[in-house]
Amino acid sequence: MIAGKLVDLRAPEMGDLARNTRWINDREVTQFLSVRYELSSAAEEAWLRDVVSAPMSFERPFFAIETKDGAHIGNTNLFDVRPEDRVAEMGIMIGEKPYWSRGYGSDAVRTLLRFAFDEMNLHRVQLFTYSFNHRAIAAYRKCGFVEEGRRRGARYRQGRHHDFIVMAVLRDEWRLRPDA
């Protein structure tokens, strides 16, 4: 378990299935994710079983986000981890909406960054987000991510095209931050 201030990151378990399925089919949650279609609980189960069955490693670090009271409120992960470049892409979902905008997501991101830089020895963590996801962009910025550019009109959601924003944080600049 990787301890943050408000949350802990733990290994995912099959017991997370019902919550994951509920979140991934909640349009309010998925409007900000790359998920577009509904997902059956069977498909979600197969996916989760695949994730939890293999020992967690450099290739696929995937964490459940828990509050200090043990409430599972979302998931966060690193993917496309490239050992030579020491670069990974980050994903996060706070599925429990009552926990939105209260610092839980930011704390999970900070905790994941610390793990990525101090334990996995990565050099850069990057992410992509929709230009309309202002809440997330502000939170990422607070965590040290810098907006590097936008892929114009790269994603189509809710009837129109949106820019896809590239944000990244480098270890050297992250190390200078008080929350590092």
Binding site for other proteins (CB under 8 A): 1-3, 9-14, 49, 52-58, 61, 63, 81, 83-86, 117-121
Residue closer to other proteins, measured from CB, 1 or 42:
1
Q: How far is the CB of 102 from other proteins (least distance, A)?
A: 24
Number of H helices, E strands in the chain: 6, 8
CB of 52 to other proteins, least distance (A): 4
Residue 130: strand pairing partners: 164
* Closest separation in Å from C-beta 119 to other proteins: 5
Tokens 């020491």 belong to residue? 86
Nearer to other proteins, 119 or 147 (CB): 119
How far is the C-alpha of 87 from the C-alpha of 58, rounded, in Å? Answer: 11
Rank residues 86 and 150 by Cβ distance to other proteins and give the closer one. Answer: 86
Buried b (16+ CB within 10 A) or exposed e, 52-86: beeeeeeeebbbbbbbeeeebbbbbbbeebeeeeb
Query: Given the complex with other proteins, which of 83 and 149 has the nearer CB atom?
Result: 83
The minimum distance between CB 3 and other proteins, in angstroms, equals 7
